[in-house]
Structure 1
Amino acid sequence: MTSRRRRITALITAAFALAGAIVLAVMFAAAPVKDFAAVATLVGGVIGAFGLAAGVFSFLATYRRAPEDPAVLLARAVEREWRTESAVRGLERPEPLRVRWASTRRPVTAAPGDAAGDVTAIADAWRALPAPQLVVIGEPGAGKTSAAVLLVRRILATRTEGDPVPVLLNVTDWDPATKHLDAWLAERLHGLYRWLPREEAAGLVERERVIPVLDGLDEMTGPVRTAAAAALTEAVGSDRPFVVTCRSREYEELIGATGMPLARAAVVELTPVDPADVAAYLGAGRVGGDAHWAGVRERLAAEPAGPLATALRTPLMAFLAREEYGRSNADPGELLALGAAGDIEEALLAGYVPAVYRERGPVRPGAKRLPVYAAEDAERWLGFLARHAENGRVAWWRLPSTVEAARSFGGDVLTMIGFGRVAVAPKPWRWRPRFLFGALLRIATPAGLVVGVLGCFMFGRSWLAIPLGLVAAWTFVGSLYLSLSTGGFDEADGAVERHRRDRHAMIGIGAVLGFWTVVLFGNRGPETVVDWIVVPFIWAAPLLGPLVFTASGQLIVTAFVLSRSGLLPISLMRFLDDAHRRGVLRQVGAEYQFRHARLADHLGGTRDDDA
């Protein structure tokens, strides 16, 4: 549904709701109390029916639209997100750090090659292989993930109709003992790109229209890594394309333990960055850069195997050094005072968050003001997220179930209402008539009959209550379904947009529950002991329902609880989006991930007491 259609639907729904509220207010003031409930139910049913009809007409326009090839939509979504990530990582700069690769000399392949080249052309090397299967290895921080990003973007840039779509995934989620590679791929595609139905994701994998680019094989534990290598070799065979990244030592240990190479994959290794390339990169694109970095450049030239050159031989550390000491008021000479490579690396990791969370300048007139966070607060919040991230991933809709928020405040109560263990992932609600009609038949009809029969006894045994109860139940279920459907996702959605749509669904659920609570119980106060127990829960439903049974509602409660202890900001999504803009996090689908495993490990080790 286009934005214009959404606005029209919202205006129509709001108009009916306002009209209903005015009619009910006039009726309540003018009609006798005994007649109000029956008439209000009838009016509410008519208003709900009109609202349901408006939503149906709006959705039929979308439903009749010709479906696009899911592979085209997937390629568009993958290209969009990794174009953004390339800019965040600095891969689009005119003066990027030059990283090279070469066929590895380690005993990890049956047929060692002799190819070499620049990492920006690694996709061309992959295409030239007899079998399009490639393993990229390197030291921690060598740029393996960045190489995979460049490869994905290059494949997409030259992709023609019918070609498979490369998708970069973190392989640590895969349990090869319980799930086949294809089943896991389909599950992850559906999980990351929620607009892609599970059956269509499975179809893309089954027809080999997806190229799995699996990052982080080294992050698996030893036995799982061994099982994953065997399962991957069995699944891809001799010619199915794939790409895997892994740290050099872990991959050599893996192949040494099994004695079997990974399918027919060629293995290339990212080489340490040359000190001369590091020196050129540090001062490139800066006015007076050569003079600013003069001491560091001299040390790199004089001691190409010294502690400083050893520490800066990976793209990660070279990037951190440039980010932290590139400002004119920073002194790169502080790095020269550190005597060991490990000390230099730890200093760069420790200084990264304070460097990227320094004060921002004024925004241009009319632009949205960016949030400002103190570096110590940001480091504490990021550390908490790093410790509770699932394999380095921060999925906002699973956060209430992955952190023990209940320990901080009201734990027993919050756990009883279910927010801590009932993490409802936002679903790609679509217009499905069969689903709606089934819900009306199996849920609304029995509920309406029960309400109608009870109404017969509550309002003077009037059998008119039975059809009114049916109408009320049908319109309630229909309007609730439409309130969820208006939050449907599309291939352009990222984490923030997905949260916004789920929040709209949460508000829709609250509005529907509130409207029908007023219609059905607006004139009923507590009269008996049972009423005093039941009525408060009925009136609390419009508030507690969205907070308990939607992912956004659970996140609101979680962030509020943890913000009281300083463990998270109360506006968590705004902070995550800002961290992504600053380059601390990267975004894949609707999930956030830490820029690098070493950064996540460092932040996770910088901890305050979670209690």
Structure 2
Amino acid sequence: MRWERGPGPVWAAVCGLLVIGAAAASGSPQMKLGDVDPVGAVIGLSGLALTVVSVWLAVRAQRVSEMDLDHWARRLAVEVRGAETGELRKLLGDDDQADKPIDVRFVLSPTRAHQAGGVQPSGCLTEVVEYYRRLRPGRLVITGAAGAGKTVLALRLLLGLLAAPAPGDRVPVRLSATQWDTATPLPAWVAAHLVTVFRMPRRTAAALVKAGRVLPVIDGLDEMDIGAPGHTSRAADALRALNSAQDGLGKMEVVLTCRTDQYAALDDAHVRVRAQDAAHIRIEPVDTGTAQTFLETRVGAEDLVRWGPVLDALDFHPDGALARALDTPWRLTLAVTVYRRLDPVTGAYLRDPAELTAPDLDTPAKVGRHLLAAYIPAATTAADAAGRNLRHYSPDQIHRWLAHLARYLNGNAEKGPFAGRVLSGTDLVLHQLWPLAGDRPRVLAQSLAGVSTFVFLAVVLFAFHVPHRLTLAFIGAWGLTRVMGVRWPEPWRIELPRMRTPLGHRKLVGGAISGLVAGAVLGLVVGFTRGWAPGLAGGLTFVIVGGLGFWFLSPGAGRVVDPRDPIRNDLACSLVLGLQAALLFVLMWYWLMGEFTNGLFWLLSPLVWVWFVQAGRRAVTRYLMLILCTRGRLPWRLGRFLHWCHEDAGLLRVAGEAYQFRHRELQDHLARFPAP
């Protein structure tokens, strides 16, 4: 299978015909001898030579670059392992015992759907890889209560499969279910994820998926809808798409996580949607003995005296409120996080675990609310003690800022589609977060683009003494902003490493041909009006600066190592485009007018104009407008704050290019209690 084919050879042939036709016309016998200019002939011959070289490069790149699926699968496995190892560590905690998670048990749950072959009646966390390898086909649905450890179990399975892969094995890739537009088939969505997050060529990604070399691990089916999912819910549509998904080996294998009650609502007599040919397992609650062992291991022998009341309550009241509240790994980890924090000055413990046995905490919900209320102060104190709170965020600030984001996410389901797109209820993607301030960021961005375009066109028209200047400037500004305005701008990126690849060669060919066509037209126009020397110089300037400048600029977020990368990349591309436009404009002005009149003005004005006219279609500008519209409710450096919450405080987790709250329970708590 070959690399994706580009339009290079076709455009090269068209361009060659145009150049040959122009050369023939210039040498026509009807023209006088003085009408044939040697400079024009040089332009034609240069364009013809460049066209021939472009065709040769494009054909050579497509002929010799065979896709090695094994190579791409190995590369993908390395990148997935590196990213998910860190995420699992953050989910389990940040102390020296975090690598010893609770060995939760799961049981096979009965279902009316056709089950996969090789199912076993039960299993546990440490045996999940062997359990999965017995399934035929490898389709697994993991359910459990909120905080039961579904994501941790899925990550342990993912990393276990990557630890000792067999030749031809699928590479597990985790995806957030909330990012799936179910109108897109599952294979196409998975391939698009590989392109966006792992910077893989589109056809290579599609070939990997079609060949059955990718195992989608879809996390959070229950988070696609607010409330119980119905027959027309997004979760129901996702299950239907999963059942119909095929790859080159038959029914597409998949791992899916969902809350037990949400999956039961999909499987009831009214909806009747369930995963076919899959093993449905349910994670069991943590019993009191396992909870006691976990606490004793995590707190250490020297701290058992403080935790004595909690351990006694679990031992003597296994059905009490505290035991039922601490029956999930999430709540147990939360309790350890809250009550093991030390004062950074005195080194003393800040809270006493005996608080959990207070009489007023007489229900599991109250115990959970008590732990969640103390979680942000505990995480902030830990970051202070470790020297990771360089911005000196206070617990109250963090609570209010995160609560504002949580209320936005929880309200998305009630708002319905916004600007033609269904907003996520869990994902904080920086370049798609502007609807948090309503439609104001888009209106402000396009207004800024329109005003700057109007001013720029008016100045240029006045400089050339064009009549009806203001009217033409207004019409031009309105038309440009209408054409360039988009609802959901995608970030661009600079891809210097790909310049040496076959895809980069084809982009070079495409940029050269585009610049050649525009430069040839411009050179002919200038040549007939100002002379052939300025025409040649102007045409070559446009070819080099205007065409080849797009060689290393590509749409899309690119490989996302940090969720802030798309905004950073788009900002860099905006600056490059502005500098490119400024250089092109000042050089063309020199060749047309013969001098650098007010050179500094002519250098800066197109740079400023291109920067602002991109505002209507630039992701980074929408992000900046969002910051302006939410001043006081969110920090000025929102990206840095979210990075700190993930990397240093452990309040958020990362899924691809999105930040998510560490647990949906934390998001719901903050949305319900926005004040500290």
Question: Shorter-chain TM-score: what band?
Answer: 0.7 to 0.9
Q: Give runs of aligned pairs for residues 474-553 of structure 1, distance below 5 A.
A: 474-478=543-547, 480-482=549-551, 484=553, 493-497=561-565, 499-520=567-588, 523-524=596-597, 538=606, 540-541=608-609, 543-544=611-612, 549-553=617-621
Evaluate the alpha carbon distance shift between residue 483 and residue 549 of structure 1 in structure 2; reply closer, same or farther with a 3 A threshold.
farther
Query: For residue 189 of structure 1, what is the aligned residue in structure 2?
Result: 194
Please tell me the residue identity of whatever aligns with 2:667.
Answer: A
Which of 261, 265, 272 in structure 2 is aligned with 1:249? 261
- 2:242 matched to 1:232? yes
Decide which moves more: 577-586 or 259-268.
259-268
Q: Secondary structure at the match of 1:423?
A: coil
Residues of 1 paired with 2:82 and 2:356: CA distance?
A: 37
- 2:585 matched to 1:580? no
Query: For residue 400 of structure 1, what is the aligned residue in structure 2?
Result: 434
- 2:522 matched to 1:434? no
Q: Secondary structure at the match of 2:123?
A: strand
Q: Give runs of aligned pairs for residues 83-102 of structure 1, distance below 5 A.
A: 83-90=85-92, 93-102=98-107
Query: For residue 292 of structure 2, what is the aligned residue in structure 1?
Result: 279
Residues of 2 paired with 1:260 and 1:555: CA distance?
A: 39
**1:215-239 CA distance string (max 9 Å, x none):** 2222334223333323322325986
Residues of 2 paired with 1:315 and 1:414: CA distance?
A: 50
Query: For residue 57 of structure 1, what is the aligned residue in structure 2?
Result: none
Q: Check whether the contact 2:195–2:202 (CA below 8 A) recurs between aligned residues.
A: yes
Query: For residue 396 of structure 2, what is the aligned residue in structure 1?
Result: 376
Residues of 2 paired with 1:168 and 1:359: CA distance?
A: 29
Query: For residue 129 of structure 1, what is the aligned residue in structure 2?
Result: 135
Evaluate the alpha carbon distance shift between residue 296 and residue 355 of structure 1 in structure 2; reply closer, same or farther with a 3 A threshold.
same
Q: Give runs of aligned pairs for residues 407-426 of structure 1, distance below 5 A.
A: 410=444, 413-414=447-448, 421-426=487-492
Which of 196, 208, 218 in structure 2 is aligned with 1:214? 218
Q: Check whether the contact 2:570–2:619 (CA below 8 A) recurs between aligned residues.
A: yes
- 2:362 matched to 1:293? no
Q: Secondary structure at the match of 1:273?
A: coil
Decide which moves more: 69-78 or 404-413.
404-413
Residues of 1 paired with 2:556 and 2:220: CA distance?
A: 33
Q: Check whether the contact 2:178–2:426 (CA below 8 A) recurs between aligned residues.
A: no
Please tell me the residue identity of whatever aligns with 1:135.
Answer: V
Residues of 1 paired with 2:313 and 2:322: CA distance?
A: 8
Q: Check whether the contact 1:134–1:244 (CA below 8 A) recurs between aligned residues.
A: yes
Decide which moves more: 219-228 or 128-137.
219-228
Q: Tell me how far 1:140 sits from its aligned partner.
A: 1.3
The alignment's TM-score, normalised by the length of structure 2, stands at: 0.69
Q: Check whether the contact 2:325–2:368 (CA below 8 A) recurs between aligned residues.
A: yes
Residues of 2 paired with 1:584 and 1:369: CA distance?
A: 13
Q: Tell me how far 1:79 sits from its aligned partner.
A: 0.8
Q: Tell me how far 1:192 sits from its aligned partner.
A: 2.9
Structure index of larger Rg: 2
Unmatched runs of 5 consecutive residues or more in structure 2: 1-59, 342-348, 410-422, 451-480, 591-595
Residues of 1 paired with 2:162 and 2:362: CA distance?
A: 45
Evaluate the alpha carbon distance shift between residue 260 and residue 286 of structure 1 in structure 2; reply closer, same or farther with a 3 A threshold.
closer
Residues of 1 paired with 2:146 and 2:445: CA distance?
A: 40
Q: Check whether the contact 1:106–1:252 (CA below 8 A) recurs between aligned residues.
A: no
User: Identity, % of aligned pairs?
Assistant: 28
Residues of 2 paired with 1:550 and 1:566: CA distance?
A: 24
Aligned length: 532
Evaluate the alpha carbon distance shift between residue 411 and residue 509 of structure 1 in structure 2; reply closer, same or farther with a 3 A threshold.
closer
Evaluate the alpha carbon distance shift between residue 451 and residue 299 of structure 1 in structure 2; reply closer, same or farther with a 3 A threshold.
farther
Query: For residue 320 of structure 1, what is the aligned residue in structure 2?
Result: 334
Residues of 1 paired with 2:357 and 2:91: CA distance?
A: 26
Evaluate the alpha carbon distance shift between residue 152 and residue 473 of structure 1 in structure 2; reply closer, same or farther with a 3 A threshold.
same
Decide which moves more: 328-337 or 217-226.
217-226
Q: Give runs of aligned pairs for residues 49-68 of structure 1, distance below 5 A.
A: none
Unmatched runs of 5 consecutive residues or more in structure 1: 1-59, 527-531
Query: For residue 71 of structure 1, what is the aligned residue in structure 2?
Result: 73
Q: Tell me how far 1:411 sits from its aligned partner.
A: 7.0
Which of 363, 366, 380 in structure 2 is aligned with 1:343? 366
Q: Secondary structure at the match of 1:433?
A: helix
Residues of 2 paired with 1:268 and 1:512: CA distance?
A: 57
Query: For residue 468 of structure 2, what is the aligned residue in structure 1?
Result: none
Residues of 1 paired with 2:324 and 2:156: CA distance?
A: 25
Evaluate the alpha carbon distance shift between residue 455 and residue 352 of structure 1 in structure 2; reply closer, same or farther with a 3 A threshold.
farther
Residues of 2 paired with 1:477 and 1:488: CA distance?
A: 23
Evaluate the alpha carbon distance shift between residue 179 and residue 419 of structure 1 in structure 2; reply closer, same or farther with a 3 A threshold.
closer
Evaluate the alpha carbon distance shift between residue 316 and residue 426 of structure 1 in structure 2; reply closer, same or farther with a 3 A threshold.
farther
Q: Tell me how far 1:511 sits from its aligned partner.
A: 3.0
Please tell me the residue identity of whatever aligns with 1:167.
Answer: V
Query: For residue 318 of structure 2, what is the aligned residue in structure 1?
Result: 304
Please tell me the residue identity of whatever aligns with 1:85.
Answer: E
Query: For residue 81 of structure 1, what is the aligned residue in structure 2?
Result: 83
Please tell me the residue identity of whatever aligns with 1:206.
Answer: K
Q: Check whether the contact 1:507–1:546 (CA below 8 A) recurs between aligned residues.
A: no
Q: Check whether the contact 1:181–1:232 (CA below 8 A) recurs between aligned residues.
A: yes
Residues of 2 paired with 1:65 and 1:363: CA distance?
A: 49
Please tell me the residue identity of whatever aligns with 2:398.
Answer: A
Query: For residue 569 of structure 1, what is the aligned residue in structure 2?
Result: 635
**1:290-344 CA distance string (max 9 Å, x none):** 1121111111112111111111111121121111122222122322221221111
Residues of 1 paired with 2:643 and 2:65: CA distance?
A: 33
Q: Tell me how far 1:486 sits from its aligned partner.
A: 13
Q: Check whether the contact 1:131–1:238 (CA below 8 A) recurs between aligned residues.
A: no
Residues of 2 paired with 1:362 and 1:273: CA distance?
A: 31
Please tell me the residue identity of whatever aligns with 2:177.
Answer: V
Residues of 2 paired with 1:482 and 1:235: CA distance?
A: 36
Decide which moves more: 256-265 or 593-602.
256-265
Q: Check whether the contact 2:325–2:365 (CA below 8 A) recurs between aligned residues.
A: yes
Query: For residue 15 of structure 2, what is the aligned residue in structure 1?
Result: none
Q: Tell me how far 1:160 sits from its aligned partner.
A: 2.8
Evaluate the alpha carbon distance shift between residue 489 and residue 347 of structure 1 in structure 2; reply closer, same or farther with a 3 A threshold.
same
Q: Check whether the contact 2:195–2:205 (CA below 8 A) recurs between aligned residues.
A: yes
Q: Secondary structure at the match of 1:291?
A: coil
The alignment's TM-score, normalised by the length of structure 1, stands at: 0.76
Decide which moves more: 99-108 or 370-379.
99-108
Query: For residue 36 of structure 1, what is the aligned residue in structure 2?
Result: none
Query: For residue 56 of structure 1, what is the aligned residue in structure 2?
Result: none
Q: Check whether the contact 2:176–2:218 (CA below 8 A) recurs between aligned residues.
A: yes
- 2:202 matched to 1:198? yes
Q: Tell me how far 1:567 sits from its aligned partner.
A: 2.7
Query: For residue 22 of structure 1, what is the aligned residue in structure 2?
Result: none
Q: Secondary structure at the match of 1:358?
A: helix
**1:261-284 CA distance string (max 9 Å, x none):** 522212211011112222332343
Q: Tell me how far 1:157 sits from its aligned partner.
A: 0.6
Q: Secondary structure at the match of 1:292?
A: coil
**1:18-50 CA distance string (max 9 Å, x none):** xxxxxxxxxxxxxxxxxxxxxxxxxxxxxxxxx
Residues of 2 paired with 1:240 and 1:486: CA distance?
A: 30
Q: Tell me how far 1:441 sits from its aligned partner.
A: 3.2
Residues of 1 paired with 2:88 and 2:293: CA distance?
A: 21
Q: Check whether the contact 1:484–1:508 (CA below 8 A) recurs between aligned residues.
A: no
Q: Check whether the contact 1:101–1:117 (CA below 8 A) recurs between aligned residues.
A: yes
